[in-house]
A and B are shown apart, each in its own frame.
Chain A
Amino acid sequence: MAILSVEDLSLSFGGLKVLSEVGFAVEDGDIFAIIGPNGAGKTSILNCIGGFYRPQKGKVIFEGSDITRRSPDRRAALGLARTFQNIALYRGMTVLDNIKLGAHAHLHTGLLKGLLYWGPAAREEMALRQEVEEDIIDFLEIEAIRKLPVASLAYGLQKRVELARALAMRPKVLLMDEPVAGMNAEETEDMARFILDIKEERGITIVIIEHDMNVIMDISDRVSVINFGQKIAEGTPDEVQAHPEVIKAYLGEKRD
Protein backbone atom coordinates (compact mmCIF):
# COMPACT_ATOMS: atom_id res chain seq x y z
CA MET A 1 0.00 0.00 0.00
CA ALA A 2 1.21 3.49 -0.76
CA ILE A 3 1.79 5.40 2.47
CA LEU A 4 2.48 8.67 0.71
CA SER A 5 1.44 9.69 -2.75
CA VAL A 6 1.61 12.85 -4.76
CA GLU A 7 -0.87 13.40 -7.56
CA ASP A 8 -0.73 15.85 -10.40
CA LEU A 9 1.38 18.33 -8.43
CA SER A 10 1.86 21.74 -10.10
CA LEU A 11 3.65 24.67 -8.54
CA SER A 12 4.65 28.03 -9.97
CA PHE A 13 6.01 31.25 -8.56
CA GLY A 14 4.46 33.97 -10.70
CA GLY A 15 5.46 33.11 -14.27
CA LEU A 16 8.09 30.59 -13.23
CA LYS A 17 6.79 27.06 -13.51
CA VAL A 18 8.62 24.95 -10.94
CA LEU A 19 6.64 21.72 -11.04
CA SER A 20 4.15 20.53 -13.61
CA GLU A 21 1.90 17.58 -13.00
CA VAL A 22 4.35 15.51 -11.00
CA GLY A 23 2.94 12.32 -9.49
CA PHE A 24 4.34 9.30 -7.70
CA ALA A 25 3.44 6.84 -4.98
CA VAL A 26 5.77 5.73 -2.16
CA GLU A 27 5.19 2.20 -0.84
CA ASP A 28 5.24 1.64 2.91
CA GLY A 29 8.71 0.65 4.08
CA ASP A 30 10.54 1.64 0.88
CA ILE A 31 13.43 3.97 0.29
CA PHE A 32 12.16 6.18 -2.51
CA ALA A 33 14.73 8.38 -4.22
CA ILE A 34 14.09 11.54 -6.19
CA ILE A 35 16.97 12.51 -8.46
CA GLY A 36 17.48 15.09 -11.15
CA PRO A 37 19.81 17.88 -12.24
CA ASN A 38 20.17 21.07 -10.17
CA GLY A 39 17.09 23.26 -10.25
CA ALA A 40 14.87 20.44 -11.47
CA GLY A 41 12.39 21.01 -8.63
CA LYS A 42 13.31 18.18 -6.23
CA THR A 43 13.41 20.27 -3.08
CA SER A 44 10.18 21.98 -4.16
CA ILE A 45 8.49 18.58 -4.14
CA LEU A 46 9.64 17.98 -0.55
CA ASN A 47 8.46 21.48 0.39
CA CYS A 48 5.03 20.71 -1.05
CA ILE A 49 4.87 17.43 0.87
CA GLY A 50 6.04 19.12 4.07
CA GLY A 51 3.58 21.96 3.65
CA PHE A 52 6.05 24.79 3.29
CA TYR A 53 4.81 25.50 -0.26
CA ARG A 54 1.17 25.42 -1.33
CA PRO A 55 0.89 23.84 -4.79
CA GLN A 56 -1.53 25.51 -7.23
CA LYS A 57 -2.79 22.14 -8.40
CA GLY A 58 -2.60 18.56 -7.25
CA LYS A 59 -2.84 16.60 -4.04
CA VAL A 60 -0.60 15.19 -1.35
CA ILE A 61 -2.08 12.05 0.17
CA PHE A 62 -0.66 10.65 3.38
CA GLU A 63 -1.99 7.38 4.81
CA GLY A 64 -5.09 7.63 2.68
CA SER A 65 -6.11 11.17 3.64
CA ASP A 66 -5.63 14.36 1.66
CA ILE A 67 -3.25 16.66 3.56
CA THR A 68 -2.73 19.27 0.82
CA ARG A 69 -4.41 22.02 2.85
CA ARG A 70 -2.95 21.08 6.24
CA SER A 71 -0.46 23.45 7.91
CA PRO A 72 3.17 22.25 8.24
CA ASP A 73 2.95 21.79 12.02
CA ARG A 74 -0.15 19.57 11.67
CA ARG A 75 1.64 17.44 9.07
CA ALA A 76 4.61 17.03 11.39
CA ALA A 77 2.26 15.76 14.09
CA LEU A 78 0.82 13.22 11.64
CA GLY A 79 4.26 11.67 11.13
CA LEU A 80 6.10 13.54 8.37
CA ALA A 81 9.66 14.42 9.36
CA ARG A 82 12.23 16.34 7.39
CA THR A 83 15.96 16.93 7.21
CA PHE A 84 17.31 19.85 5.25
CA GLN A 85 19.83 20.36 2.47
CA ASN A 86 21.51 23.27 4.22
CA ILE A 87 21.39 22.21 7.83
CA ALA A 88 18.54 23.85 9.74
CA LEU A 89 19.52 23.13 13.33
CA TYR A 90 18.88 25.63 16.13
CA ARG A 91 22.34 27.03 16.71
CA GLY A 92 21.59 28.46 20.12
CA MET A 93 20.75 25.06 21.63
CA THR A 94 22.71 21.99 22.62
CA VAL A 95 22.56 18.76 20.63
CA LEU A 96 20.28 17.25 23.26
CA ASP A 97 17.82 20.15 23.16
CA ASN A 98 17.78 20.10 19.37
CA ILE A 99 16.85 16.45 19.38
CA LYS A 100 14.25 16.94 22.12
CA LEU A 101 12.71 19.68 20.03
CA GLY A 102 11.91 17.11 17.36
CA ALA A 103 9.43 15.47 19.73
CA HIS A 104 7.54 18.76 20.18
CA ALA A 105 4.35 17.62 18.46
CA HIS A 106 4.11 14.51 20.65
CA LEU A 107 4.45 16.31 23.98
CA HIS A 108 1.63 17.88 25.94
CA THR A 109 3.18 20.38 28.35
CA GLY A 110 1.40 23.71 27.96
CA LEU A 111 2.48 27.17 29.02
CA LEU A 112 1.20 26.97 32.61
CA LYS A 113 2.43 23.45 33.28
CA GLY A 114 5.78 24.45 31.82
CA LEU A 115 6.08 27.40 34.20
CA LEU A 116 5.32 25.11 37.13
CA TYR A 117 7.52 22.26 35.82
CA TRP A 118 7.25 19.94 38.81
CA GLY A 119 4.64 17.23 38.26
CA PRO A 120 3.37 16.29 34.80
CA ALA A 121 5.87 18.44 32.87
CA ALA A 122 8.86 16.97 34.70
CA ARG A 123 7.61 13.41 34.20
CA GLU A 124 7.13 14.05 30.51
CA GLU A 125 10.62 15.55 30.21
CA MET A 126 12.21 12.57 31.96
CA ALA A 127 10.39 10.09 29.71
CA LEU A 128 11.51 12.12 26.70
CA ARG A 129 15.11 12.25 27.90
CA GLN A 130 15.12 8.48 28.30
CA GLU A 131 13.64 7.95 24.85
CA VAL A 132 16.09 10.37 23.24
CA GLU A 133 19.10 8.88 25.02
CA GLU A 134 18.32 5.20 24.60
CA ASP A 135 16.53 5.16 21.31
CA ILE A 136 18.17 7.90 19.26
CA ILE A 137 21.51 9.11 20.64
CA ASP A 138 22.67 5.56 21.19
CA PHE A 139 21.49 4.48 17.72
CA LEU A 140 23.26 7.32 15.90
CA GLU A 141 26.40 7.10 18.06
CA ILE A 142 26.46 10.73 19.14
CA GLU A 143 26.80 10.19 22.92
CA ALA A 144 30.03 12.17 23.08
CA ILE A 145 28.60 15.39 21.66
CA ARG A 146 25.14 15.51 23.24
CA LYS A 147 25.90 18.36 25.63
CA LEU A 148 27.70 20.54 23.07
CA PRO A 149 26.13 23.51 21.31
CA VAL A 150 25.43 22.48 17.70
CA ALA A 151 27.22 25.51 16.27
CA SER A 152 30.54 24.02 17.43
CA LEU A 153 30.15 20.72 15.57
CA ALA A 154 31.70 19.58 12.31
CA TYR A 155 29.45 19.50 9.26
CA GLY A 156 29.06 15.73 9.11
CA LEU A 157 28.06 15.56 12.76
CA GLN A 158 25.55 18.37 12.31
CA LYS A 159 23.91 16.34 9.56
CA ARG A 160 23.73 13.40 11.94
CA VAL A 161 22.18 15.55 14.68
CA GLU A 162 19.63 16.71 12.17
CA LEU A 163 18.77 13.09 11.43
CA ALA A 164 18.48 12.49 15.18
CA ARG A 165 16.06 15.39 15.49
CA ALA A 166 13.98 14.00 12.64
CA LEU A 167 13.87 10.58 14.35
CA ALA A 168 12.65 12.23 17.56
CA MET A 169 9.63 13.34 15.54
CA ARG A 170 8.59 9.65 15.55
CA PRO A 171 8.04 9.80 11.81
CA LYS A 172 6.20 7.37 9.58
CA VAL A 173 7.78 8.98 6.54
CA LEU A 174 11.17 10.67 6.67
CA LEU A 175 11.93 13.25 3.99
CA MET A 176 15.69 13.67 3.54
CA ASP A 177 17.10 16.45 1.40
CA GLU A 178 20.66 15.58 0.31
CA PRO A 179 21.76 13.77 3.49
CA VAL A 180 25.29 13.04 2.26
CA ALA A 181 26.03 16.24 0.33
CA GLY A 182 29.47 17.60 1.17
CA MET A 183 30.54 14.55 3.17
CA ASN A 184 33.72 12.56 2.80
CA ALA A 185 33.67 8.88 1.85
CA GLU A 186 33.62 7.61 5.42
CA GLU A 187 30.87 9.96 6.57
CA THR A 188 28.86 9.06 3.47
CA GLU A 189 29.19 5.37 4.26
CA ASP A 190 28.09 5.94 7.87
CA MET A 191 25.07 7.93 6.77
CA ALA A 192 24.05 5.35 4.15
CA ARG A 193 24.26 2.65 6.84
CA PHE A 194 22.09 4.73 9.21
CA ILE A 195 19.50 5.26 6.48
CA LEU A 196 19.34 1.51 5.80
CA ASP A 197 19.10 0.79 9.54
CA ILE A 198 16.26 3.27 9.92
CA LYS A 199 14.41 1.51 7.14
CA GLU A 200 15.10 -2.02 8.29
CA GLU A 201 15.02 -1.74 12.09
CA ARG A 202 12.33 0.88 12.46
CA GLY A 203 10.28 0.33 9.35
CA ILE A 204 10.26 4.02 8.53
CA THR A 205 9.57 4.93 4.92
CA ILE A 206 12.20 7.25 3.48
CA VAL A 207 11.96 9.74 0.64
CA ILE A 208 15.45 10.88 -0.26
CA ILE A 209 16.90 13.49 -2.61
CA GLU A 210 20.54 12.98 -3.43
CA HIS A 211 23.15 13.72 -6.05
CA ASP A 212 25.50 10.94 -5.00
CA MET A 213 24.47 8.30 -7.53
CA ASN A 214 26.45 5.52 -5.85
CA VAL A 215 24.46 5.95 -2.65
CA ILE A 216 21.14 6.23 -4.49
CA MET A 217 21.68 3.16 -6.63
CA ASP A 218 22.89 1.16 -3.62
CA ILE A 219 20.17 1.85 -1.10
CA SER A 220 16.97 2.87 -2.86
CA ASP A 221 14.09 0.60 -3.78
CA ARG A 222 12.56 2.93 -6.34
CA VAL A 223 13.90 5.98 -8.11
CA SER A 224 12.00 8.83 -9.69
CA VAL A 225 13.79 11.20 -12.06
CA ILE A 226 12.73 14.85 -12.31
CA ASN A 227 13.91 17.27 -14.98
CA PHE A 228 12.63 20.82 -15.51
CA GLY A 229 9.77 20.21 -13.09
CA GLN A 230 8.52 17.12 -14.84
CA LYS A 231 8.86 13.47 -14.04
CA ILE A 232 10.74 11.78 -16.85
CA ALA A 233 11.20 8.28 -15.48
CA GLU A 234 10.48 6.03 -12.54
CA GLY A 235 11.46 2.49 -11.65
CA THR A 236 14.05 0.36 -9.88
CA PRO A 237 17.59 1.76 -9.84
CA ASP A 238 18.60 -0.53 -12.74
CA GLU A 239 15.62 0.40 -14.90
CA VAL A 240 16.21 4.09 -14.36
CA GLN A 241 19.92 3.91 -15.18
CA ALA A 242 19.09 2.34 -18.53
CA HIS A 243 16.28 4.78 -19.37
CA PRO A 244 17.10 6.85 -22.49
CA GLU A 245 15.44 10.04 -21.16
CA VAL A 246 17.54 9.86 -18.01
CA ILE A 247 20.76 9.43 -19.94
CA LYS A 248 19.74 12.41 -22.06
CA ALA A 249 19.02 14.58 -19.01
CA TYR A 250 22.24 13.72 -17.25
CA LEU A 251 24.71 13.37 -20.12
CA GLY A 252 23.09 15.44 -22.84
CA GLU A 253 22.56 14.10 -26.36
CA LYS A 254 24.75 13.84 -29.37
CA ARG A 255 24.23 16.60 -31.90
CA ASP A 256 23.84 15.25 -35.39
Chain B
Amino acid sequence: MRIGDYKVSYGADEAVFRTGTVRVWMIVLFLAMAVFPFWAGDYLLYMANLTGIAIVAAVGLNILTGAAGQISLGHAAFVGIGAYTSAILITKLGLPFIICLPLSGLSAALFGVIVGAPSMRMKGLYLCIATLAAQVIFEYLFKNWESLTGGIRGINVPAPTIFGFEFNNEFRFYFITVPVVIIVVTAARNLFRTRVGRAFIAIRDRDFSAQLMGINLFRYKLYAFALSSFLAGVAGCLWVNFIKIVTPEHFPLHESIRYLAMIIVGGLGSVLGSIFGAIFMTIIPEVLKSMLNIVSAFSPDAMAYLSPLQTVVFGLLIVVFLVFEPHGLAEMWRRVKDYFRLWPFEH
Protein backbone atom coordinates (compact mmCIF):
# COMPACT_ATOMS: atom_id res chain seq x y z
CA MET B 1 0.00 0.00 0.00
CA ARG B 2 1.25 3.42 -0.93
CA ILE B 3 0.44 6.39 1.28
CA GLY B 4 2.07 9.58 2.45
CA ASP B 5 4.08 9.77 -0.73
CA TYR B 6 4.43 13.51 -1.25
CA LYS B 7 6.76 15.14 -3.72
CA VAL B 8 8.60 18.29 -2.77
CA SER B 9 10.40 18.98 -6.03
CA TYR B 10 9.41 18.90 -9.69
CA GLY B 11 12.35 16.57 -10.29
CA ALA B 12 10.94 13.97 -7.91
CA ASP B 13 7.57 14.23 -9.63
CA GLU B 14 9.05 13.81 -13.11
CA ALA B 15 11.11 10.73 -12.20
CA VAL B 16 10.35 7.47 -14.02
CA PHE B 17 10.46 5.36 -10.85
CA ARG B 18 8.59 7.62 -8.52
CA THR B 19 8.26 5.66 -5.29
CA GLY B 20 10.57 3.67 -3.05
CA THR B 21 8.50 0.55 -3.65
CA VAL B 22 8.98 0.76 -7.40
CA ARG B 23 12.71 1.29 -6.99
CA VAL B 24 13.00 -1.76 -4.74
CA TRP B 25 11.17 -3.90 -7.28
CA MET B 26 13.42 -2.60 -10.06
CA ILE B 27 16.47 -3.70 -8.05
CA VAL B 28 14.84 -7.11 -7.57
CA LEU B 29 14.27 -7.32 -11.33
CA PHE B 30 17.87 -6.45 -12.13
CA LEU B 31 19.14 -8.98 -9.59
CA ALA B 32 16.87 -11.63 -11.11
CA MET B 33 18.22 -10.82 -14.56
CA ALA B 34 21.78 -11.11 -13.25
CA VAL B 35 21.16 -14.45 -11.55
CA PHE B 36 19.03 -15.92 -14.35
CA PRO B 37 21.85 -17.14 -16.67
CA PHE B 38 23.55 -19.08 -13.86
CA TRP B 39 20.33 -20.85 -13.05
CA ALA B 40 18.80 -21.37 -16.50
CA GLY B 41 19.72 -24.02 -19.04
CA ASP B 42 20.75 -23.50 -22.67
CA TYR B 43 17.21 -23.60 -24.01
CA LEU B 44 15.92 -20.93 -21.62
CA LEU B 45 18.96 -18.76 -22.35
CA TYR B 46 18.37 -19.20 -26.07
CA MET B 47 14.80 -17.98 -25.58
CA ALA B 48 15.98 -15.11 -23.36
CA ASN B 49 18.38 -13.91 -26.06
CA LEU B 50 15.70 -14.09 -28.76
CA THR B 51 13.28 -12.23 -26.50
CA GLY B 52 15.84 -9.53 -25.78
CA ILE B 53 16.50 -9.04 -29.49
CA ALA B 54 12.75 -8.90 -30.15
CA ILE B 55 12.40 -6.24 -27.41
CA VAL B 56 14.96 -4.01 -29.13
CA ALA B 57 13.14 -4.29 -32.47
CA ALA B 58 9.70 -3.86 -30.88
CA VAL B 59 10.74 -0.72 -28.99
CA GLY B 60 11.87 0.65 -32.35
CA LEU B 61 8.59 -0.13 -34.10
CA ASN B 62 6.60 1.21 -31.17
CA ILE B 63 8.32 4.59 -31.47
CA LEU B 64 7.36 4.82 -35.14
CA THR B 65 3.93 3.20 -35.16
CA GLY B 66 2.71 3.37 -31.57
CA ALA B 67 3.95 6.84 -30.68
CA ALA B 68 4.33 8.74 -33.96
CA GLY B 69 1.40 6.93 -35.62
CA GLN B 70 3.17 6.01 -38.87
CA ILE B 71 2.21 2.42 -39.64
CA SER B 72 5.09 0.39 -41.01
CA LEU B 73 4.85 -3.00 -42.69
CA GLY B 74 8.56 -3.08 -43.38
CA HIS B 75 10.11 -3.42 -39.95
CA ALA B 76 11.53 -6.90 -40.60
CA ALA B 77 13.28 -5.54 -43.70
CA PHE B 78 15.11 -3.01 -41.51
CA VAL B 79 16.07 -5.75 -39.07
CA GLY B 80 17.34 -7.57 -42.16
CA ILE B 81 19.35 -4.54 -43.31
CA GLY B 82 20.99 -4.41 -39.88
CA ALA B 83 21.73 -8.13 -39.99
CA TYR B 84 23.18 -8.01 -43.50
CA THR B 85 25.19 -4.86 -42.80
CA SER B 86 26.71 -6.51 -39.78
CA ALA B 87 27.41 -9.80 -41.59
CA ILE B 88 29.02 -8.00 -44.54
CA LEU B 89 31.13 -5.70 -42.34
CA ILE B 90 32.35 -8.64 -40.27
CA THR B 91 33.10 -11.09 -43.07
CA LYS B 92 34.31 -8.72 -45.80
CA LEU B 93 36.00 -5.96 -43.80
CA GLY B 94 36.74 -7.88 -40.62
CA LEU B 95 35.37 -5.12 -38.39
CA PRO B 96 34.89 -6.00 -34.71
CA PHE B 97 31.39 -6.59 -33.36
CA ILE B 98 31.39 -3.59 -31.06
CA ILE B 99 31.82 -1.25 -34.08
CA CYS B 100 29.38 -3.20 -36.24
CA LEU B 101 26.59 -2.77 -33.70
CA PRO B 102 26.14 1.01 -34.14
CA LEU B 103 27.07 0.86 -37.84
CA SER B 104 24.29 -1.67 -38.51
CA GLY B 105 21.88 0.67 -36.77
CA LEU B 106 23.09 3.66 -38.79
CA SER B 107 22.83 1.81 -42.09
CA ALA B 108 19.26 0.74 -41.29
CA ALA B 109 18.48 4.31 -40.18
CA LEU B 110 19.71 5.66 -43.49
CA PHE B 111 17.36 3.37 -45.41
CA GLY B 112 14.63 4.17 -42.89
CA VAL B 113 14.91 7.87 -43.71
CA ILE B 114 14.67 7.10 -47.44
CA VAL B 115 11.59 4.92 -46.93
CA GLY B 116 10.12 7.52 -44.57
CA ALA B 117 10.51 10.40 -47.01
CA PRO B 118 7.10 9.79 -48.65
CA SER B 119 5.49 10.35 -45.23
CA MET B 120 5.66 14.07 -46.10
CA ARG B 121 2.84 13.49 -48.57
CA MET B 122 1.24 10.24 -47.48
CA LYS B 123 -0.64 9.22 -44.38
CA GLY B 124 -2.22 6.12 -42.87
CA LEU B 125 -2.94 3.27 -45.26
CA TYR B 126 -1.13 4.90 -48.18
CA LEU B 127 2.09 5.20 -46.19
CA CYS B 128 1.53 1.65 -45.02
CA ILE B 129 1.61 0.48 -48.65
CA ALA B 130 4.82 2.46 -49.26
CA THR B 131 6.50 0.64 -46.36
CA LEU B 132 5.14 -2.63 -47.72
CA ALA B 133 6.90 -1.81 -51.00
CA ALA B 134 10.12 -1.29 -49.04
CA GLN B 135 9.66 -4.70 -47.41
CA VAL B 136 9.24 -6.39 -50.79
CA ILE B 137 12.14 -4.53 -52.42
CA PHE B 138 14.62 -5.27 -49.63
CA GLU B 139 13.57 -8.92 -49.49
CA TYR B 140 14.22 -9.10 -53.23
CA LEU B 141 17.63 -7.46 -52.80
CA PHE B 142 18.61 -9.85 -50.00
CA LYS B 143 17.78 -12.77 -52.28
CA ASN B 144 19.17 -11.54 -55.58
CA TRP B 145 22.17 -9.31 -54.91
CA GLU B 146 24.33 -12.41 -54.65
CA SER B 147 27.74 -10.74 -54.75
CA LEU B 148 26.90 -8.81 -51.59
CA THR B 149 24.38 -10.94 -49.69
CA GLY B 150 25.32 -14.43 -50.79
CA GLY B 151 21.82 -15.01 -52.25
CA ILE B 152 19.73 -17.76 -50.71
CA ARG B 153 22.79 -19.42 -49.17
CA GLY B 154 23.27 -16.33 -47.03
CA ILE B 155 26.34 -15.39 -45.02
CA ASN B 156 27.93 -17.28 -42.16
CA VAL B 157 29.26 -15.15 -39.35
CA PRO B 158 31.81 -16.11 -36.69
CA ALA B 159 30.97 -15.69 -33.00
CA PRO B 160 31.55 -12.09 -31.88
CA THR B 161 34.60 -11.21 -29.83
CA ILE B 162 34.90 -8.23 -27.50
CA PHE B 163 38.38 -7.49 -26.09
CA GLY B 164 39.50 -11.01 -26.94
CA PHE B 165 36.57 -12.66 -25.19
CA GLU B 166 34.47 -14.88 -27.44
CA PHE B 167 30.68 -14.75 -27.03
CA ASN B 168 30.13 -18.13 -28.60
CA ASN B 169 27.23 -19.63 -26.68
CA GLU B 170 23.82 -18.71 -25.30
CA PHE B 171 25.17 -18.09 -21.82
CA ARG B 172 27.85 -15.66 -22.95
CA PHE B 173 25.71 -13.87 -25.51
CA TYR B 174 23.19 -13.14 -22.76
CA PHE B 175 25.72 -10.65 -21.40
CA ILE B 176 25.64 -8.77 -24.70
CA THR B 177 21.87 -8.86 -25.19
CA VAL B 178 20.83 -7.71 -21.73
CA PRO B 179 22.99 -4.56 -21.56
CA VAL B 180 21.87 -3.54 -25.07
CA VAL B 181 18.22 -4.06 -24.08
CA ILE B 182 18.70 -2.01 -20.92
CA ILE B 183 20.35 0.85 -22.82
CA VAL B 184 17.69 0.84 -25.56
CA VAL B 185 14.76 0.71 -23.13
CA THR B 186 16.23 3.47 -20.95
CA ALA B 187 16.92 5.71 -23.94
CA ALA B 188 13.43 5.18 -25.35
CA ARG B 189 11.77 5.89 -22.02
CA ASN B 190 13.90 9.03 -21.65
CA LEU B 191 12.94 10.27 -25.07
CA PHE B 192 9.28 10.37 -24.06
CA ARG B 193 10.10 12.68 -21.18
CA THR B 194 11.32 15.37 -23.58
CA ARG B 195 9.89 17.51 -26.33
CA VAL B 196 10.88 15.01 -29.04
CA GLY B 197 8.71 12.23 -27.60
CA ARG B 198 5.83 14.63 -27.02
CA ALA B 199 6.09 15.84 -30.61
CA PHE B 200 5.79 12.23 -31.85
CA ILE B 201 2.57 11.71 -29.91
CA ALA B 202 1.21 15.07 -31.09
CA ILE B 203 1.80 14.03 -34.70
CA ARG B 204 -0.07 10.78 -34.07
CA ASP B 205 -3.01 12.39 -32.30
CA ARG B 206 -3.58 15.46 -34.50
CA ASP B 207 -0.99 16.29 -37.09
CA PHE B 208 -2.41 19.59 -38.31
CA SER B 209 -2.60 21.16 -34.89
CA ALA B 210 0.87 19.77 -34.12
CA GLN B 211 2.18 21.90 -36.93
CA LEU B 212 0.46 25.01 -35.57
CA MET B 213 2.14 24.25 -32.22
CA GLY B 214 5.50 24.76 -33.87
CA ILE B 215 6.39 21.16 -34.73
CA ASN B 216 8.13 20.63 -38.04
CA LEU B 217 6.11 17.59 -39.14
CA PHE B 218 8.47 16.32 -41.80
CA ARG B 219 11.54 16.53 -39.59
CA TYR B 220 9.90 14.69 -36.72
CA LYS B 221 8.44 12.00 -38.95
CA LEU B 222 11.93 11.40 -40.34
CA TYR B 223 13.30 11.32 -36.77
CA ALA B 224 10.76 8.63 -35.97
CA PHE B 225 11.65 6.60 -39.07
CA ALA B 226 15.39 6.97 -38.44
CA LEU B 227 15.19 6.02 -34.78
CA SER B 228 12.84 3.12 -35.40
CA SER B 229 15.00 1.63 -38.13
CA PHE B 230 18.17 2.30 -36.15
CA LEU B 231 16.84 0.08 -33.37
CA ALA B 232 15.70 -2.47 -35.95
CA GLY B 233 19.24 -2.46 -37.34
CA VAL B 234 20.75 -2.96 -33.89
CA ALA B 235 18.34 -5.86 -33.31
CA GLY B 236 19.37 -7.31 -36.67
CA CYS B 237 23.06 -7.07 -35.76
CA LEU B 238 22.47 -8.81 -32.43
CA TRP B 239 20.42 -11.46 -34.15
CA VAL B 240 22.93 -12.36 -36.84
CA ASN B 241 25.77 -12.52 -34.31
CA PHE B 242 23.68 -14.77 -32.10
CA ILE B 243 22.35 -17.16 -34.78
CA LYS B 244 25.61 -16.87 -36.80
CA ILE B 245 23.95 -17.10 -40.20
CA VAL B 246 21.75 -14.74 -42.19
CA THR B 247 19.58 -15.80 -45.13
CA PRO B 248 16.78 -13.96 -46.97
CA GLU B 249 13.97 -16.09 -45.56
CA HIS B 250 14.63 -14.78 -42.06
CA PHE B 251 12.96 -11.44 -42.85
CA PRO B 252 9.65 -12.12 -44.61
CA LEU B 253 6.53 -9.94 -44.49
CA HIS B 254 4.97 -12.06 -41.78
CA GLU B 255 7.92 -11.20 -39.55
CA SER B 256 7.02 -7.51 -40.00
CA ILE B 257 3.46 -8.35 -39.04
CA ARG B 258 4.72 -10.26 -36.00
CA TYR B 259 6.46 -7.07 -34.82
CA LEU B 260 3.23 -5.14 -35.34
CA ALA B 261 1.40 -7.80 -33.32
CA MET B 262 3.96 -7.42 -30.53
CA ILE B 263 3.32 -3.71 -30.07
CA ILE B 264 -0.45 -4.05 -30.43
CA VAL B 265 -0.69 -6.87 -27.89
CA GLY B 266 1.81 -5.12 -25.61
CA GLY B 267 0.37 -1.63 -25.83
CA LEU B 268 0.79 0.98 -28.57
CA GLY B 269 3.00 3.92 -27.71
CA SER B 270 4.26 2.42 -24.48
CA VAL B 271 7.86 1.34 -23.96
CA LEU B 272 6.76 -1.11 -21.28
CA GLY B 273 4.18 -2.41 -23.77
CA SER B 274 6.90 -3.20 -26.30
CA ILE B 275 8.67 -5.30 -23.68
CA PHE B 276 5.52 -7.18 -22.70
CA GLY B 277 4.55 -7.67 -26.34
CA ALA B 278 7.97 -8.99 -27.36
CA ILE B 279 7.98 -11.42 -24.42
CA PHE B 280 4.44 -12.58 -25.18
CA MET B 281 5.01 -13.14 -28.89
CA THR B 282 8.29 -15.00 -28.34
CA ILE B 283 7.46 -17.08 -25.29
CA ILE B 284 3.81 -18.09 -25.83
CA PRO B 285 4.38 -20.10 -29.05
CA GLU B 286 7.13 -22.01 -27.22
CA VAL B 287 4.87 -22.62 -24.24
CA LEU B 288 2.18 -23.96 -26.57
CA LYS B 289 4.74 -26.19 -28.26
CA SER B 290 5.92 -27.66 -24.99
CA MET B 291 2.32 -28.26 -23.91
CA LEU B 292 1.84 -30.13 -27.17
CA ASN B 293 4.89 -32.26 -26.40
CA ILE B 294 3.42 -33.22 -23.03
CA VAL B 295 0.13 -34.24 -24.63
CA SER B 296 1.82 -36.22 -27.40
CA ALA B 297 3.70 -38.26 -24.83
CA PHE B 298 0.35 -39.81 -23.89
CA SER B 299 -1.01 -40.33 -27.39
CA PRO B 300 1.51 -40.33 -30.23
CA ASP B 301 -1.16 -39.50 -32.86
CA ALA B 302 -2.03 -36.21 -31.19
CA MET B 303 0.95 -34.45 -32.77
CA ALA B 304 -0.51 -34.67 -36.25
CA TYR B 305 -3.86 -33.20 -35.20
CA LEU B 306 -2.72 -30.74 -32.60
CA SER B 307 0.26 -29.13 -34.25
CA PRO B 308 -1.86 -26.95 -36.61
CA LEU B 309 -4.04 -26.18 -33.59
CA GLN B 310 -1.06 -24.46 -31.99
CA THR B 311 -1.26 -21.60 -34.50
CA VAL B 312 -5.02 -21.38 -34.04
CA VAL B 313 -4.71 -21.16 -30.25
CA PHE B 314 -2.03 -18.50 -30.56
CA GLY B 315 -4.19 -16.42 -32.90
CA LEU B 316 -7.16 -16.89 -30.59
CA LEU B 317 -5.11 -15.69 -27.63
CA ILE B 318 -4.21 -12.49 -29.47
CA VAL B 319 -7.85 -11.86 -30.42
CA VAL B 320 -9.01 -12.49 -26.84
CA PHE B 321 -6.41 -10.06 -25.55
CA LEU B 322 -7.47 -7.37 -27.99
CA VAL B 323 -11.15 -7.80 -27.19
CA PHE B 324 -10.72 -7.65 -23.43
CA GLU B 325 -7.82 -5.23 -23.26
CA PRO B 326 -7.52 -3.14 -26.43
CA HIS B 327 -4.78 -1.02 -24.88
CA GLY B 328 -2.56 -4.01 -24.45
CA LEU B 329 -0.67 -5.76 -21.69
CA ALA B 330 0.84 -2.49 -20.46
CA GLU B 331 -2.64 -1.20 -19.59
CA MET B 332 -3.49 -4.50 -17.90
CA TRP B 333 -0.32 -4.16 -15.84
CA ARG B 334 -1.28 -0.61 -14.86
CA ARG B 335 -4.68 -1.81 -13.65
CA VAL B 336 -3.13 -4.56 -11.58
CA LYS B 337 -0.82 -1.99 -9.98
CA ASP B 338 -3.75 0.36 -9.32
CA TYR B 339 -5.57 -2.47 -7.59
CA PHE B 340 -2.66 -3.16 -5.27
CA ARG B 341 -2.07 0.51 -4.55
CA LEU B 342 -4.79 0.52 -1.90
CA TRP B 343 -4.71 -3.19 -1.17
CA PRO B 344 -5.88 -4.58 1.24
CA PHE B 345 -8.13 -1.58 1.92
CA GLU B 346 -10.04 -1.50 -1.32
CA HIS B 347 -12.60 1.13 -0.50
Contacts and interface: CB of A to CB of B under 8 A. Distances in A.
Interface of A: 50-52, 71-73, 76-77, 82, 84, 88-93, 97, 100-105, 107, 109-111, 113-118, 121-122, 124-126, 129-130, 133, 165, 169
Indicate the member of A73, A76, A77, A122 with the most B CB atoms within 10 Å.
A73
B212 A72 contact: yes
Given A114-B195, A114-B196, A88 B209 contact: yes
Interface of B: 10-11, 13-14, 187-188, 190-191, 193-199, 201-202, 204-206, 208-217, 223, 226-227, 269
Given A76-B212, A100-B195, 10 more contacts: A73-B212, A104-B198, A109-B194, A109-B196, A110-B196, A111-B191, A114-B197, A117-B194, A121-B193, A133-B10
Given A114-B190, A117-B194, A133-B10, A90 B202 contact: yes
A91 B204 CA distance: 10
Contacts of A90: 201-202, 205-206, 210
B213 A117 contact: no
A115 B191 CA distance: 5
B201 A82 contact: no
Given A105-B213, A125-B14, A129-B14, A93 B206 contact: no
B10 A126 contact: yes
Contacts of B226: 111
B10 A73 contact: no
Contact of A101 (B10, B11, B199, B204): B199
Contacts, number: 112
A173 to B, nearest CB: 13
Contacts of A169: 213-214
B196 A76 contact: no
Contacts of A110: 196
A105 B198 CA distance: 12
Given A72-B211, A104-B199, A129-B14, A115 B204 contact: no
A92 B205 contact: yes
A88 B205 CA distance: 9
26 contacts: A50-B212, A72-B211, A73-B212, A73-B214, A73-B215, A73-B216, A76-B214, A92-B204, A92-B269, A93-B198, A97-B198, A100-B195, A101-B195, A104-B195, A104-B198, A104-B213, A107-B195, A109-B196, A110-B196, A111-B191, A114-B196, A115-B191, A121-B190, A121-B194, A126-B11, A129-B13
A82 B294 CA distance: 64
Contacts of B206: 88-90
A73 B211 contact: yes
A116 B198 contact: no
Given A110-B196, A114-B190, A121-B194, A51 B204 contact: no
A124 B206 CA distance: 25
B10 A130 contact: yes
B190 A111 contact: no
A114 B194 contact: yes
A108 to B, nearest CB: 9
A121 B199 CA distance: 15
A10 to B, nearest CB: 22
A126 B194 CA distance: 10
A107 B198 CA distance: 12
Given A90-B202, A133-B10, A84 B194 contact: no
A126 B215 CA distance: 21
A96 B202 CA distance: 13
B86 to A, nearest CB: 21
A116 B214 contact: no
